[in-house]
A and B are shown apart, each in its own frame.
Chain A
Amino acid sequence: MARYSDHTRDPCPWVILNDTGAAFAMGAIGSGIWHIVKGSKNSPRGERIIGAISSVKARSPVLGGNFAVWGGLFSTFDCALKGIRQKEDPWNVIASGFLTGGVLAARGGLAASARSAALGGLVLALFEGVSIAVARISTPSAPPMVH
């Protein structure tokens, strides 16, 4: 998620579409695999294939849509923060996760919203921490200066 000054990611307004689509695909495919297994397990013998298909058809678009809304809103907040702060750092991503979580749970009241926001910020902070750690491990250290 944090690929700063990366040539494979597009400039800001357009990347929202890309992130929405990527999140939708992740949610729909992940949920599809999950519900193939769950649907066939919960169906009686002889109707396992039909049960799996109908379970996937009923559930996987919904999770895909939820993921897409999360990803799209997250990317929108990320772009807005980049525009306002004129900076690209992990705090943008963490704040976007916090705001997205808060906004999406806003109908549940202030307490639910705050809980969801804290969870969103925490999850994105974990992602950021892991990606920074991975980058630090996988990047070779600079060769010593030779005079």
Chain B
Amino acid sequence: MSSFPPADQTSNTSFYSQSDTVNVSDILGNVDFGSAQIRELAGLGTGKLGEIEFVQVDDVPMTAGPIASRGVLDDLCYGTGTTYLAGLSFGGLWGLVEGTRGPNSNFKLRINTVLNSVTRRGPSIGNSCGILAMGYNGINGVITTIRGRHDAVNNIAAGALVGAIFKSTAGIRAMSVASVVCASAAAAWTYTFRHLQ
């Protein structure tokens, strides 16, 4: 506490001689609570180069950017949730368009057709999108952990792998097509993400 500057002696004596009432503001007004003193009180050193600059509230740092992320598991949850909901909405819209185009003249029949096609298309596309996103983020997390770095190669490799796995029962040709499509989608996403940041 050496740099905690005491109020100098002369002002202190005159201070007491003037009046007997001492306020908090009187005391605090005589003490310099600069950042250097606060740092020393908190045991953070004197703020010179090489010492701790600041303390983060969280142990887990967030990455900066429009899409914040705390790590692999967070990416997985956000990616899966967003993609699932996007697929569900897209499938729902598709089903809506498909249902309203039918030749039904009866109102009740038409409503039924629309409901059927919406609830058929929406969940199926949503589920597929969710599985793809979950696989992509999961594989990406594993690759990132193994390689110890996060770059475009990881994303494209994860996309290629997840496409191949997704179509693994449909034959080699479908597997390669899905793999290429997913890898390109991952590359496009990586490029877009970099430009968003």
List A residues at the B interface (Cβ < 8 Å): 7-8, 10, 16-22, 24-25, 28-29, 50, 53-54, 57, 60-62, 64-65, 68, 72
Contacts and interface: CB of A to CB of B under 8 A. Distances in A.
Given A54-B169, A64-B134, 12 more contacts: A20-B80, A21-B78, A21-B130, A21-B134, A24-B81, A29-B134, A57-B169, A62-B123, A64-B127, A64-B131, A65-B126, A65-B127
Interface of B: 57-58, 60, 68, 70, 74, 76-82, 84-85, 123, 126-128, 130-131, 133-134, 168-169
Contacts of A54: 169
A17 B76 CA distance: 11
A65 B58 contact: no
B127 A21 contact: no
A20 B84 contact: yes
Contact of A72 (B70, B79, B81): B81
Given A8-B58, A24-B80, A53-B168, A72 B130 contact: no
10 contacts: A8-B58, A17-B81, A19-B77, A20-B81, A21-B76, A21-B77, A21-B82, A22-B77, A24-B81, A65-B123
A68 B60 contact: no
B127 A72 contact: no
Contact of B85 (A17, A57, A60, A62): A17
A62 B80 CA distance: 14
Contacts of B81: 16-22, 24, 68, 72
A18 B78 contact: yes
Given A24-B84, A57-B169, A72-B85, A18 B131 contact: no
Given A7-B58, A53-B168, A61 B82 contact: no
A19 B85 CA distance: 12
A21 B57 contact: no
Contacts of B134: 21, 24-25, 28-29, 64
Contacts of B131: 28, 60-61, 64
Contacts of A53: 168-169
A62 B82 CA distance: 17
A17 B78 contact: yes
